[in-house]
């Protein structure tokens, strides 16, 4: 069973996925849309990925404020989760994603990726970090 990590943004959704054993995490793709509210194709693509990769669990990053309260972006993410739950037949867990974009930017900088090219990868790396953090925390529960 694979895990799919998602970093939901206003115009993109970064995707990362585990291997079949749920041990390693790889960047997968960035789903783009022209308008924030145009989600039909985004939801359809996530459903395709879920089916093609035999995903058993989705981990969606929840962008809480620094005081751990849900702001406008978190509310939009929760609404997206509700829409996604109607499309896919797998559990969707929320994972606090505070500072993952900052961490992703650091990874790209340290990797030597030019600033002009970082936008292509940042959402995938943020999804990778969200999913990796989830797997680490899940291991502690066992």
SS3 string, 84-126, reads HHHHCCCCEEEEECCCHHHHHHHHHHHCCCCHHHHHHCHHHHH
- Dist. CA 16–CA 123, nearest whole Å: 9
Domain ranges of the chain: 2-141
Q: What is the pLDDT along the chain (142 residues), one digit of tens a residue?
A: 899 999 999 899 999 999 999 999 999 999 999 888 899 999 999 999 999 999 999 999 999 877 777 788 889 999 999 999 999 999 999 998 877 776 777 777 777 777 777 777 788 889 999 999 999 886 544 3
Note whether 53 and 13 are within 8 A (CB).
Answer: no
> pTM, whole model, 2 decimals?
0.87
Query: Residue 14: CB partners within 8 Å, gap ≥ 6?
Result: 6, 7, 27, 30, 122, 123, 124, 125, 126, 127, 128
How many other C-beta atoms lie within 10 A of the C-beta of residue 97? 27
Query: Residue 132: CB partners within 8 Å, gap ≥ 6?
Result: 5, 25
* Predicted local distance difference test score (pLDDT) of residue 111: 78
Fold that domain 2-141 belongs to in CATH? Nucleotidyltransferase; domain 5 (3.30.420)
* Predicted local distance difference test score (pLDDT) of residue 69: 78
* Predicted local distance difference test score (pLDDT) of residue 80: 96
């Amino acid at each position: 069973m694979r895990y799919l990590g998602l970093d939901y943004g206003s115009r993109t959704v970064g995707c990362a996925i585990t291997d079949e054993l749920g041990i390693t995490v790889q960047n997968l793709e960035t789903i783009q849309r022209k308008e924030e509210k145009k989600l039909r194709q985004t939801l359809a693509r996530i459903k395709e990925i879920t089916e093609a990769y035999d995903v058993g669990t989705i981990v969606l990053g929840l962008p809480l404020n620094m005081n751990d309260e849900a702001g406008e972006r978190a509310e939009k993410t929760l609404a997206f989760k509700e829409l996604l739950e109607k499309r896919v037949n797998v559990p969707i867990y929320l994972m606090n994603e505070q500072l993952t974009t900052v961490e992703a930017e650091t990874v790209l900088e340290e990797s030597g990726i030019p600033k002009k090219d970082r936008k292509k990868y940042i959402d995938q790396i943020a999804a990778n970090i969200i999913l990796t953090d989830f797997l680490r925390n899940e291991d502690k529960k066992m």
